[in-house]
Structure 1
Amino acid sequence: MKQVYTDIFQYRGSHYDFGYQQGEWLKHSPILSKREKQLGSKKERHFKIDQDQVISAIKTFIPGVLEEIYGLADALEMNMEEALREFGGYYLEYGKSGCSIFTGKDYLIRNYDSHPVSYEGRYMLYQPTDGGYATLGPAMQITGRMDGMNEKGLVMGYNFVHRKKGEDGFICNMIGRIILETCANVEEGIQVLKELPHRHSFNYVLLDSTGKRVVVEASPRSVSYRKSNISTNHFELITEENRYRTDESRERKMNILSKGEELEDGYQAFRMMNDSDQGVFSSKYDAWAGTLHTAAYFPEDMKAAFAIGADRYPVIFDFSKWLKGERVNVKKVKGQLEPDIPFLNMHE
C-alpha cells in the first residue's frame, strides 16, 4: 500500500491574482516537471494549439480563467502559448478512466477512477472577486475541476465514455470548471453543455439545490440529457457514440442500481461507493480504472466530503462557513492506495 495525499488550497481574490498565487505554489511542487517527463515527445503531437482560437473560446465561456492563465504565466515565467498549452484545457489529450456517480435528491457521490501517475493531488476552494461563483473540488490540469460544488448549490461530476473521433474543443475538467463557475442550476448547466465545443465524449452529471438531477451525454457531435441517478462509462441515448464494449460499465451500473434501492441517506451512499466489499470501488489501476478518490456533495447543507482510497472516513468541508469567511484548517487529506506509485504532487 502507498501512502498518498491531496493538498488543500484556498484563495479569495481576482482570477489573475489566483493564477499568480497558484504559480507560486507550483514552484515548490513537482507536478509540472513530472508531467513534462511523462509526456516527453507526445507533448508536441497532442498539445498543439491555435493560440487565437483557444483565447477566443476561453473568453466566450469563462473569461476569468484567461486572466488566471495570465497570472500563472507571469509567476512561472512562461510565454502565453506555453501557458495555454499547459492550463487552457482546450485540445489536450485525456487518458482513459473509469468513474461511477450516484445521486440522491440531496447528494451526489462520485468515484474518480484513473491511475495515480496522472493525479495531481490538489483540492481547491476559490472565491473570485471579479466575477463567477465560488467553488470547491479537486483540480485537474491545474485550472480544471474533476467534480465539485458552487455557492449556488450546483454539483457536477463527469464520467469518461471514449476518445474516438475527437474534435477541437474543451476537455472534461475545463468543462467542469466552466459549469461550476458560471452556472447556477441544472438548466443553465445543460445549456452551456449544448453550446460549448467538446473535445471528447463524456457523461456530465448535474444536481442542484432544488433536487433536480440529470445525466448529460455529450460528444463532439451531439448533446442529449436524461433524468437518472446513476452514471458510469457509457451513453444510453446517443448509443452510436459508445465504445464497442460497454459490459463492465453496464455491470457496474446494475450493481449500483441494486444496492442503491436500499440506501437511506448520503452517508450510506458514500459507504456503497467507497467500501471495498461493495463492488463499486475499483482496484483496476493497471487499466487506468482504479478508484483514486471518493467525493460527496450535499447542496442543501452546503457541505462536501472527500476521501482517498477505500474504506475511509471522509474529511468534511463546511462550504457555507467558508463562504462566510472562515478558513478550512485541513492542509492535507491522506489515504492509501494499492499500487506503490505516488501522486504528481509528491516529492518522490
Structure 2
Amino acid sequence: MYHPRLYGEFYDMGLKYGKLLYEKADFVIPTISKQKMDFGLESYQDLKSFFPEVVEEIEGFAKGIKDKPEKLGAFLLSLGVFNTTGQCSVFAFKNDDSTVIGRNYDMLFDFKKFTESSLIAPKDKYAYISQSDVFIGRSDGINEKGLSVSMSFVNGTEVQTGISFHFIVRKVLEDCENTEQAIELIQKAKVSTANNFLIADHKGQIAVVESAPQKSIVRRPEKNEQFIFITNEFKTKEMQAYDRGGVEWSKSTERYKGLKDSLKSINKMDLQIAKEILSDKCVCLDLKKERFGTIWSVVANLNELKIERAENKPTIKNYKSETRLDWWLKKNAT
C-alpha cells in the first residue's frame, strides 16, 4: 500500500503525484473501451460543475504524466461503472461518549498493488486520511472534523453519466463536517451508479444513504439500536426495486447477518472489538477460487481521531496506528 502525503493547491497536488508515478512507476493511463471513454468524457463535464477543484487536480496529474486531462478524467469516471467492483462491509456504533467505525474493503487480490492510504490536505478544505485503489478518487476516509464516510457497491438496475462514488466520497471528506451535511451533498449529486454510503460523525449521528441514479433514501438506526451497517444490498423497501441483486457469490447476506449478530450483542464498542468483528470469518471475505477478499480494513474512534488500519486481510493483531492526520493538525495548529 502506498502512503502519499498531498497538500496545498489542487493543481500542485496533482502535478506532484502524477510526476512521482510517471518517474518512479512509469505510469500511463490504462486503455479503456470506446463505451467507457464516451461515458467518461460526458461524466467529466458533470464533474466540472460538481467538483471543479478536483478537476484542477486532474489537470495537474495529467501534466505530470504527460497526457491529456480529458483522457484521465474519462478513465477515472468510468471506473466501477461497467464492471463488478468492491464487495464491502462497514459499520458505525455510537457509544454514550464516542462513535466507532469499522470498514472492510473487499476486492480482487490483484488490486492490492494499487492500494493507497493518503493524507490529503487541500488548501481551504478539511484534511483527511483516506483509502482507495485508484489515485485521486477515494473509497473511504475520516476527516479532521471527526466525520467518516465509506461506500459499498450495489448492483443497480441503471447507470448514468455523472459522478462516481470515488469523487462523492472525496468531496464529502473535504467539504462536510457532520453527517447531515454529508447526506445533503450525496443526495444532491448526480450519481452514476448504485451504492451505499455509510456516514458517521463524532457526535453520534450515523446514517446510510442508499443511492441510485433513480432515487436515494436515508436509512437510520432501528429503534433502540446504537449501530448501523452495510454490505452490498439495498435494505429499504423504497430502494429494492433499483437493486439487481446477484451478489450471492460475495456472501453479502451472510456478511450482513454476521455484522448484525455481532453488533446486537455489544453494549459498548471500542477499537479492539471492532477489529474482532471485521476479522471474523462471517464478515471478512477470503474467496480463494475467485481471488477476491478483504484487501484493507480500517477502524477508528471519531472523537479521538484514533485510526488503525490493516493493509491486508485483517486479523486482530495486524492493524497499525495511522498518525499522519494527527501530525498534520499539530503541524498546522494556530
1:323 has 2:332 as partner: no
1:19 to partner: Cα distance: 0.3
- Alignment of structure 1 residues 27-46 onto 2, 5 Å: 27-28=22-23, 30=25, 32-33=27-28, 36=30, 40=31, 42-46=32-36
Which deviates more from structure 2 when the two are superposed, residues 178-187 or residues 245-254?
A: 245-254
2:303 to 300, 305, 315: 300
Gaps of 5+ in 2: 222-227
1:122 has 2:127 as partner: no
1:164 to partner: Cα distance: 3.3
- How has the CA–CA distance of structure 1 residues 14 and 217 changed in structure 2, closer, same or farther, with 3 Å as cutoff? same
1:208 to partner: Cα distance: 0.8
| Equivalent pair of 2:43/2:163 in contact (CA under 8 Å) | no
SS in 1 for 2:321: strand
Distance in 2, Cα, partners of 1:128 & 1:217: 28
| Equivalent pair of 2:91/2:198 in contact (CA under 8 Å) | no
1:245 to partner: Cα distance: 4.5
1:25 to 2, 6, 20: 20
SS in 1 for 2:3: strand
1:94 to partner: Cα distance: 4.5
Equivalent residue for 2:274? 269
Gaps of 5+ in 1: 1-5, 327-348
Deviations 1:185-211 (A, max 9, x none): 111111111111111111000001211
| Equivalent pair of 2:117/2:131 in contact (CA under 8 Å) | yes
| Equivalent pair of 1:112/1:293 in contact (CA under 8 Å) | yes
Distance in 1, Cα, partners of 2:211 & 2:145: 23
- How has the CA–CA distance of structure 1 residues 91 and 242 changed in structure 2, closer, same or farther, with 3 Å as cutoff? closer
Which deviates more from structure 2 when the two are superposed, residues 261-270 or residues 243-252?
A: 243-252
Equivalent residue for 2:6? 11
1:322 to partner: Cα distance: 2.5
1:243 has 2:215 as partner: no
Which deviates more from structure 2 when the two are superposed, residues 76-85 or residues 244-253?
A: 244-253
Deviations 1:275-321 (A, max 9, x none): 4xx42111125547511111122210012111022324211123233
- Alignment of structure 1 residues 98-109 onto 2, 5 Å: 98-105=87-94, 106-109=99-102
| Equivalent pair of 1:169/1:197 in contact (CA under 8 Å) | yes
Q: Which amino acid aligns with 1:314?
A: Y
Deviations 1:114-143 (A, max 9, x none): 1022341211101112x3211111133211
- Alignment of structure 1 residues 195-214 onto 2, 5 Å: 195-214=188-207
SS in 2 for 1:224: strand
SS in 1 for 2:199: strand
1:75 has 2:70 as partner: no
Equivalent residue for 1:310? 314
Distance in 2, Cα, partners of 1:290 & 1:31: 28
| Equivalent pair of 2:93/2:100 in contact (CA under 8 Å) | yes
TM-score, normalised to structure 1, is 0.82
1:99 to partner: Cα distance: 0.7
Percent identical residues: 24
1:161 to partner: Cα distance: 0.8
| Equivalent pair of 1:104/1:266 in contact (CA under 8 Å) | no
| Equivalent pair of 1:54/1:90 in contact (CA under 8 Å) | no
1:102 to partner: Cα distance: 1.5
SS in 1 for 2:4: strand
1:218 to 211, 221, 228: 211
Equivalent residue for 2:151? 158
TM-score, normalised to structure 2, is 0.85
Deviations 1:46-91 (A, max 9, x none): 232474x545422333222011011111111112221222345689
